[in-house]
Chains A and B, each alone.
Chain A
Amino acid sequence: MTSQQTKIVIVCVMLTALAIIVPFTSSFIILLVTRALVFAILVMSLDLLLGFTGLASLGQAAYLGVGAYLTAILATKYQFGLGYDFWLVILFGMLGGAALAAVFGLLAIRASGVYFLMITLALGQCVWGLAYRWNSLTGGDNGINLRVRPKFGIDLANEVTFFYLVFCVFALSLLTMYVLVRSPFGRSLTGIRERELRMRILGYNTWLHKYLAFVIAGAFGGLSGVLWAHTAGIVSPENVVLTTSVDALLMAVLGGAGTLVGGVIGSFIVFGLREYLSTIVPWWQYVLGGVYVLTILYLPTGLMGIPARIRQQRARSNEATEENRAAPVPS
């Protein structure tokens, strides 16, 4: 457990450093970090499914969409959620995401592997279709502009204040999900990932476990949507489109699935390259592509897999020196 404790300490130190340093950087950096953090919540929610339950979902953007559209519609049509009731909107966003996932889960959880991927993709596209076509509610492809951010004692229009709000919500989400995956429930999810049949024989209701994980992931997706709406100031079908889901999946894989923190790293790297590097050089897409390809070729466990890989390499070389006649590793 000591290595686990070191990891926790490292993550805490990194987060504290982030919270301290970011406000002193330029306002553009603050904006980018805020965006990356919000998106990281979505990626972590996806990681619950992908990394811990073994379900690769291609429709996670749908829950972000629900949270975001809910926030935007409440704010523009009913002026709701612009004061202390913002916390209610966060709750509604999570409930909305969970409710949608509860419906979609009924359809999707019966499948697994590539079929699960296809069903979640199709369901995600349904949400996109609604966002695109339901003009009176969603504003069609023009989307909805949020002109003001909530104000309750603190004014979220201030980018630094908003950053801290996002940071706190993000840290809480990370903590909650961490506790969740370390709980007996989370352990049984990992068990399902490793071998579902065995878990079923041991008497676990694997369907229910997967379903619950799916709903929880939906809730966190909705949460990220609420924050996203206020971060970007615009909600459009672009947020729900397939590429957003794919982005989330790539970020999770890039950082390392099944680690939660990996998704955060992935989110920071992709946002950094796509939105920061692109302001400096026009060939940023090659860098992004290169990072993806290299990760998949050499780091199938993602960037979070680097320490383990180094350790493994070191152990292997030790072994090799100790006994030269060790059995060859089967590939």
Chain B
Amino acid sequence: MKHESRRRFGSMLLGGVVALATGASATGAMAQGQELRIGYVAPTTGIFAQQGKDMVDGFQFYLDEVKSDFGGAKVQFIVEDEQGKPDTAVTKAKKLILQDKIHILVGGLLATTGYALAPVSTAEKTVYVVPIAAADDLTQRDFAKYPYLVRTGWSSSQPSHPFGQWACEQGYKKIVTVGADYAFGHEVVGGFQRAFEACGGQVIQKIWPPLGAQDFGPFIPTIKQDADAIFTLMVGPMSLRFPKQLAASGNKKPVIGGGTSYDEFVLPSMGDEVIGHVSVLQYSAALDTPKNAEFVKRYRAKYGKVPSYYSESNYTTAQMIHKVIADNGGRFPGQEEFVKQLAALKIDTIRGPVSLDEMRNPVQSIYIKKVEKKKMFGYDKDELWNTVIKTYPNVGQFGPFKKEEFLAQPVYSRDFPPCKHCN
């Protein structure tokens, strides 16, 4: 609230004077700072509005903490609604670039949106920072096409690689996968299958319910009974429905899954049927570090809910941009230089240490998480938390595989890796 009134007051004064004044008071040393315009696209309407809200909140939360002051630069944060449609995302990004003359473009939820925005950043020579859209090829096979793109989140198959190894360690021999039928689902499942089969496991069946499926009745009974475990990859409202219907069908097999199946954007609404399910991601709200505990408490106090990975990733993205701008004395150093410096960043974040590889995708810790009902961080109620049971530090996007060999393969899809052990 305080910040709100300050901003309004600020707009009444000359911009330059305000920037000067806040710059001086915040850092004490800054002679002058410029205005840093950050354009942000997220779906704030439509079926993905919840995730979109978490994204914006995460970024805004960081800005509020530093009072929109990035080392002397006054941040102007402009949010546009991409409505979950790639077309609209392109229009909105162009509006931000052409009309608002932003320095940095951030955002995009779906992989599709990421693929749509990346060429815009190239064509308009504008930095595009990708906190959520996880499409593998943005920082893999298409890397050379997007010189202004930096990813601060993750690539879809990144957590799947260590998870495949982990599944082997659990003694699982045969696994059935159930994944949302679109590129992100294909990539998460593909990465898991490849890693799992590399250590001796077998994926014996791949089931692909359509994106946004409500009724899994046609799919659940077809799950092969000789499987040791079920791997799921759900997104949006599917995450909530699938475990319920699976439990109702009397399933006794262990259930494991990709991060979005049990992420905190949906976990508080889930029932006890998900207790014991194991998933994997680069963040968990139950990450037991002092830094995260403090983050969760402050975030929850403000927004009334536990931060999801959507919030954390954007908070961290804001933090990384802040670091680069602050290193340049509150100035935007130009696109090429900004990309170079952001890519060279090694930073300690809420989710752990993050650095970027030479293809500008984060190298970070990957957490294997088990859903448990317990008390955490001093809250007095029993709640569902994604307790971290194993940490794989410094995981890059190629996992245990060699980069050249990995890039020579086609991107994970419905048919790749081929299902050798199906039927």
Instruction: Flag whether B280 is at the interface (Cβ < 8 A).
Output: no
**B-side interface size class:** 20 to 34
**Residue pair A238, B86 in contact (C-beta under 8 Å):** yes
Q: Shortest distance in angstroms between A38's beta carbon and chain B's nearest beta carbon?
A: 11
Instruction: Flag whether B175 is at the interface (Cβ < 8 A).
Output: no
Instruction: Flag whether B3 is at the interface (Cβ < 8 A).
Output: no
Instruction: Flag whether A143 is at the interface (Cβ < 8 A).
Output: yes
Q: Shortest distance in angstroms between B150's beta carbon and chain A's nearest beta carbon?
A: 19
Q: Shortest distance in angstroms between A74's beta carbon and chain B's nearest beta carbon?
A: 18
- CB interface residues, A 274-304, toward B, < 8 Å: 274-275, 278-279, 282, 285
Instruction: Flag whether A91 is at the interface (Cβ < 8 A).
Output: no
**Residue pair A143, B115 in contact (C-beta under 8 Å):** yes
Please indicate the chain B residues that have their CB under 8 angstroms from the CB of A26 in the complex: 98-99
Most chain-A Cβ atoms within 10 A of its Cβ — which of B99, B116, B122, B123?
A: B116
Choice from B44, B91, B116, B120 contacting A32 with Cβ under 8 Å? B91
- CB interface residues, B 372-423, toward A, < 8 Å: 413-414
Q: Shortest distance in angstroms between B353's beta carbon and chain A's nearest beta carbon?
A: 31
Instruction: Flag whether A232 is at the interface (Cβ < 8 A).
Output: yes
Please indicate the chain B residues that have their CB under 8 angstroms from the CB of A141 in the complex: 112, 182-183, 211
Give CA–CA (A222, B108) in the complex, Å: 29
**Residue pair A233, B119 in contact (C-beta under 8 Å):** yes
Instruction: Flag whether A35 is at the interface (Cβ < 8 A).
Output: yes
- CB interface residues, B 86-134, toward A, < 8 Å: 86-88, 90-92, 94-95, 98-99, 111-112, 115-116, 118-120, 122-123
Give CA–CA (A238, B413) in the complex, Å: 19
Please indicate the chain A residues that have their CB under 8 angstroms from the CB of B80 in the complex: 278-279
Instruction: Flag whether A195 is at the interface (Cβ < 8 A).
Output: no
Q: Shortest distance in angstroms between A270's beta carbon and chain B's nearest beta carbon?
A: 12
**Residue pair B87, A238 in contact (C-beta under 8 Å):** yes
Give CA–CA (A152, B403) in the complex, Å: 41
> Inter-chain contact count A-B, CB under 8 Å?
78
Q: Shortest distance in angstroms between A238's beta carbon and chain B's nearest beta carbon?
A: 5
Residue of A nearest to B92 (CB): A279
Give CA–CA (A166, B135) in the complex, Å: 33
The B contact surface, by secondary structure, is: helix
Q: Shortest distance in angstroms between A235's beta carbon and chain B's nearest beta carbon?
A: 9
**Residue pair A282, B87 in contact (C-beta under 8 Å):** no
**Residue pair A143, B116 in contact (C-beta under 8 Å):** yes
Give CA–CA (A274, B84) in the complex, Å: 13
Give CA–CA (A236, B414) in the complex, Å: 18
Give CA–CA (A278, B44) in the complex, Å: 10
Could you tell me how many residues of chain A have their Cβ less than 8 Å away from some Cβ of chain B? 25
Instruction: Flag whether B45 is at the interface (Cβ < 8 A).
Output: yes
Please indicate the chain B residues that have their CB under 8 angstroms from the CB of A282 in the complex: 44, 81
**Residue pair B90, A28 in contact (C-beta under 8 Å):** no
Please indicate the chain A residues that have their CB under 8 angstroms from the CB of B94 in the complex: 27-28, 31
**Residue pair B183, A140 in contact (C-beta under 8 Å):** yes
Q: Shortest distance in angstroms between B50's beta carbon and chain A's nearest beta carbon?
A: 15
Instruction: Flag whether A239 is at the interface (Cβ < 8 A).
Output: yes
Give CA–CA (A34, B266) in the complex, Å: 40
**Residue pair A234, B86 in contact (C-beta under 8 Å):** yes
Known: A31-B98, A135-B413, A285-B45. A145 touches B119 (CB 8 A): yes
Please indicate the chain B residues that have their CB under 8 angstroms from the CB of A28 in the complex: 94-95, 98-99
Q: Shortest distance in angstroms between A25's beta carbon and chain B's nearest beta carbon?
A: 11
Instruction: Flag whether B141 is at the interface (Cβ < 8 A).
Output: no
Q: A117-161 CB contact bits vs B (8 Å, 1 = yes)?
A: 000000000000000000100001111010100000000000000
Known: A27-B99, A143-B86, A236-B116. A275 touches B135 (CB 8 A): no
Choice from A143, A233, A275, A278 contacting B112 with Cβ under 8 Å? A143
Known: A31-B91, A141-B183, A279-B80. A135 touches B414 (CB 8 A): yes
- 5 A-B pairs with least C-beta separation: A27-B98, A28-B99, A234-B116, A28-B95, A141-B182
